[in-house]
Every structure is written in C-alpha cells, then in structure tokens.
Amino acid sequence: MSEITPELVRHLAGLARILVSDEEVEQFTKQLSVIADSVAHVSKAIDADTPSTSHPIAMANVFREDVVEPSLSQAEALSGAPDSAEGRFKVNAILDEE
Amino acid sequence: MTDLIRKTASELAALISSGEVSSVEVTRAHLDRSEAVDGAVHSYLYQNPESSLIAAAEADRARAAGEVSSPLAGVPIAVKDNLTTTDAPTTSGSKILEGWQPPYDATVVKKLRAAGMPILGKTNLDEFAMGSSTEFSAYGPSKNPWDLTRIPGGSGGGSSSVVASFQAPLAIGSDTGGSIRFPGAVTGTVGTKPTYGAVSRYGLVALASSLDQIGPVARNVLDAAMLQDVIAGHDPHDSTSLPESLGSMTAAAKKLDVKGMRFGVINQLAGEGFQPGVAARFKESLNLLSAAGAEIVEVDCPSFEYAIAAYYLILPAEASSNLAKFDSVRFGMRVEPGENATIERVMAATREAGFGPEVKRRIILGTYALSSGSYDKFYGAALKVRTLIQRDFDAAFAKADILVSPTAPTTAFKFGEKIDDPIAMYLNDIATIPANLAGIPGISVPNGLAEEDSLPVGIQLLAPAREDARLYQAGAWLERAHEEIWGKRMIDFAPELEVK
C-alpha cells in the first residue's frame, strides 16, 4: 500500500512551490498513490552492489578555454522578466513584515 | 503548387538547387497549405509568414550568388515550440511561458538558419513535453491527419501532424521517452532519436536533461538522415555534446542493403500484448528482412520489465529540478496573490496558475522521489535499474547489430481515451523508453497499416550508441521494401484533408 496521504501531497506541493486546491490534493493523492505503487518494484530489481548510472554516456569533466565570448546584454537578459528596475530583476519582499 | 507540398525534402532541395523552383515558392506553398488545413489539424502554435518568406528570399539570393549553405538549402521546416527562437515566442506548450520571447536562438535553430532553411512556425506539444497525445498542451491538442478524432502522438504531435498533413516537409522534435518516435509511428511518418549528445540541447527547454535528445521528423528516411546531418555536431554550449562526428547519415540512407546484418528481436517487446495488427505487421517485416539475407536472432532484456518504473522516477525527479526555474522572476508569468505578498507566495500562486495538471503531478512525484526517506527506495533504485538496462543492451548488441520491436503497442487512440489514467498513458512508451535510459539511438519507420483499423503502424530500430548510421541504412531498406509491397508510400494512404 502506498504511503501517499493528502498531508504528504500538500507538503510536497509546498516544497515544489505549487499552491494546490483541496480538489487537486484529493485527485493527486489518488493518482500519485497508483503511480507510486506501480513504480515501487524498481527496488526489487537491484541489490546493494548494482552501480548507479546518472548519465547515459559517461563523460569526464568537460572544459573549454577560458576566453571571453559574446553573451547576452543586461537588457536582453532582463527582456523576459515580469518586472525589473535599475538593470535588475525586481521581486516582492522575501520575508513577511512580522 | 499543390504537388510541391507532397514532395520529399530531398526532391525539393534538388529542385531549388537547380533553379527549377525557388525557396519562396516552396515556402509559400506550405504556408498556403497551413492556411487551408491547420484550422482543423492544429499543428502550429505560432506562424509568421512574413518572416518565413524573408528567410526563403535570402536562401534564393544566396543560391543565385553561388553560395551553397547546405544540401537542404531553401527547404522550409517547422520547429517544436520547446526550442528557443529569437523571432518567435517560445511557450513549450505551457501557459507559464505564454508570449515569452527568448533573447537567443537554440543551437539547432542557429544551424537551420545557417543551412538556409526557412522556419515555417513553432509546433504544438504536450506542456513541457510531458505526454503522449498533445492533450496536455495548454493550447489545445493537435489532431492526427489520418483521423481527426485521434491523437497524433506526443509529446511532439505538432511536429508529426505538421509533416503528415503536408504543411512542412520536415520538422524538429525532441525525444525524452519516445516523443519523436511514438508520434512518428501513429502518423505514418519517420522520427529519429539520435545518440544522446549527437545533437546539441542548448536552447531546448529542458524536461529531463539526462534523457532529452533533439532529432529529425520527416516523411521518409532519407529526409530524416539529411536533417540529422544538418543539426548534429559538437557544441561547446552543451557539456554533454559528443566531441566526435558520427559520419554521414545521408550516405547510410542511400546504401539500401541489409544483407548479413543481424537483427535482434527483443523477447520482452516481441509483440505480446500488442494490438494484433501491430504484431502482425512486425512479424511480416521480420520475414522481409530474413528473405533479403538478414539474420534474425532472439535477444533477452529481462530488466526492461522495470524500465517504465525507472523512467517515471528519473524523469519527474529531473523535471522537478529543471522546472524550478519557472519562478516568476526571470521570465514568464507572475501572479500576485494579494497585496504585499512575499516572493514565496507569488511563486506558489504563479506555478499554480501557470502549470497544467500533468506538470504538477510530475513535479510533485519528482519531489517525492527525491525527498529524504524516499530517495534510496525510488530515485536511487531507478538509477541502478538504468545500469541493468544498459547491461541488457550491451549483451543484446553482442548478438545483434540492430534491435527491432514495434514502436508502440497500439495505433493512434481516440482523444480522451487515456487522459484520466496516467498509467495507461505511460504504457504507450514501453518500447521507446529503454533507448533514452541507455542513451542509444532509435528510429521509427512506417511499417504498413493495421488490418483492424487501417491506421499506420511503426517499427522501431535501435542501435548501439554512436551507430546512428545503421538505423538509416536499415530503415531506408525497410521503407523501400514496404513501398514495393503496398505500391506507394505509406503516407499516401492517408485520407485527403478537407481544404478550407
């Protein structure tokens, strides 16, 4: 049985910075339970000695020469921002007032 | 003009290069076709005819001046809307990026421009390429030109339907678990997922970075090969880009020879549980290959049983991290949930409003798979399964040059059939996912029509990493064998679309 509960879905959505409605919590709890149950058997396929693969084609560290190349201008970098001021991204307060 | 749109890209390139038709004429013919049919098919999210025609005129000028930019110079192309373009908005099928105008071109887009290929528009996809049907696009689904009540595959259903409805001779797709190959199979077109790293991902809106690969979408194998030759190559902007060249795919597609090649039939994907017409056509192709002097062997890939599970842990985990960049700060939507809301509340409200249900589902699942307490059991285990799948492929390729399977278990399904059942939707990818997990190349080639519904079926060929050329060699041979049996190209069996 899956351990996905409505509280867990709310917690995960909070970590992922997604506001969820009660309706969504109910739907996601059901769907994620089914998905989590159906993928849980991956742990049966492996043992402690099986190495992990994080990348399909292994490459050593990739470097390039440290030379200055053309890059986006400040104006271009800000061109898609919802709000900017004085050449910077502008955001709301990070902390609550209290 | 109507016969221009039915020509292959290689035919168009020859006509343009000899001066018989201009790139402007070819481009205009395709734009006119979109005007007539895209209201019904909905392949495009964005078109700007004026800018396509300017690029075409430039290609004509370059040809007249004797400047040869590429073998596909002057041939127009459609681009999936998850590649950045400086002259067209890029949405990735999501509301959160609606109207976003990127300040740079993806490397692949730069290469298309340098090759003298006018861009016809940006094609539809499931939101952030998460889906198998385009039903998860925030802008509505694309339709399958064979039957407008059916899905064109996904996530690249815009790119498959755009070539299948003759609105473009070529398109660019991206394949994370089958998003080029599955749409190819259900629309009777060709789609390739090249070796991981063969084509630069710079400028691709990332879904799962260790699985994503950009590749060609076309109506025949030679066209796909020519397009891969244009877009492949090392790119210093992508640290996973392969440093070496993989050779000429075009030359491989022209060999038309399978004698002595060893084809491995994967026991786990040999047609059991597949739609009868899909399994039957697959067996027929094996007989064709065998009759032509190819060797058919059986191979066993026991870990494939765990491939979908591993994929649906690795993909959401990587996606949850990649999609964190949509934070209402640097680009895209910003929703203010009230006066003096903190940035954290703004982010949560923006992502609630901007992401669709499948994207939210996968981000939450990925967050779960990566969270402490679940990591070892889910994400960690999935990475180990990935090793087992690579070992299965290594063993299989010791016995065979190419592995074969049906591309998908069924022909195109109807809209709405699987939308509320994520597991049923995920099972479409059963044959395509292992290649992404192992980074190897795969192609889907038209494989006849299923007897029960007269809809197209695809055959998938897989090769070891860096051996993409084998796919084009065998794929082109199979394509020709089918054309000889059926008397015409598979795409020519598609019903005529009603023209507005």
User: Can you give the residue ranges of every domain in chain B?
Assistant: 2-260+442-493
User: A21 to chain B nearest CA, in Å?
Assistant: 9
> Contact A12/B346, CB-based, under 8 Å?
no
Q: Report the 10 Å Cβ neighbour count for B236.
A: 15
> Contact B351/A18, CB-based, under 8 Å?
yes
**Phi-psi label, residue B326: left if phi above 0, alpha if psi -120 to 50, beta otherwise:** beta
User: What pLDDT is attached to residue A45?
Assistant: 87
Give the bridge partners for B375, in sequence order: none
Mutate to test the interface with B, among A18, A44, A52, A96 (most CBs of B within 10 A): A18
Mutate to test the interface with A, among B385, B391, B425 (most CBs of A within 10 A): B385
User: What pLDDT is attached to residue B484?
Assistant: 96
B2-260+442-493 is a CATH 3.90.1300.10 domain: yes
Listed as ranges, residues in chain B with pLDDT below 70 are 1-2
User: What pLDDT is attached to residue A98?
Assistant: 56
Side-chain half-sphere exposure of B479, counting CA atoms within 13 A:
31
User: What pLDDT is attached to residue A97?
Assistant: 60
Three-class secondary structure of residue A58 per DSSP:
coil
User: What pLDDT is attached to residue A2?
Assistant: 63
Tokens matching residue B92: 């990735």
Whether B374 sits among the annotated catalytic residues: the reply is: no
Task: For residue range A27-76, list pLDDT tens digits in order.
Answer: 999 999 988 888 888 988 888 899 999 888 988 888 888 999 899 999 99
> Contact A64/B236, CB-based, under 8 Å?
yes
Between A97 and B426, name the one with better pLDDT. Answer: B426
Tokens matching residue B391: 């070992």
Q: Which residue in the set A42, A54, A64 is minimally distant from B385, CB to CB?
A: A42
Q: With beta carbons under 8 A apart, name residues in chain A contacting B236.
A: 64
Residue A59, H or E segment: none
B 310-339 → A contacts, CB under 8 A: 310, 312-313, 320, 324, 327-334, 336-337
Complex-level ipTM? 0.93
Nearest Cα residue to B156 out of B166, B167, B176: B176
Whether B80 sits among the annotated catalytic residues: the reply is: yes
> Contact B103/A72, CB-based, under 8 Å?
yes
A6-40, CATH topology level: Histone, subunit A (1.10.20)
Tokens matching residue A42: 């991956």
Tokens matching residue B20: 């018989």
A1: pLDDT confidence band, cut at 50, 70 and 90? very low
How many angstroms separate the CA atoms of B471 and B192, rounded?
9
Which residue matches tokens 């990587």? Answer: B318
Which residue matches tokens 């800000």? Answer: A78
CB pairs under 8 A between A and B: 186
Q: Give the active site residue among B155, B159, B303, B328.
A: B155
How many angstroms separate the CA atoms of B3 and B168, rounded?
13
| Burial state string for B374-394 with b = 16 or more CB within 10 A and e = fewer than 16 | beebbbbbbbbbbbbbbbbbe
Q: With beta carbons under 8 A apart, name residues in chain A contacting B242.
A: 57
> Contact A51/B384, CB-based, under 8 Å?
yes
> Contact B346/A92, CB-based, under 8 Å?
yes
User: What pLDDT is attached to residue A51?
Assistant: 94
How many angstroms separate the CA atoms of A63 and B239, rounded?
8
Whether B95 sits among the annotated catalytic residues: the reply is: no
Enumerate residues 6+ apart whose C-beta is below 8 A from A56.
Answer: B196, B210, B211, B386, B390, B436, B437, B438, B439, B440, B465
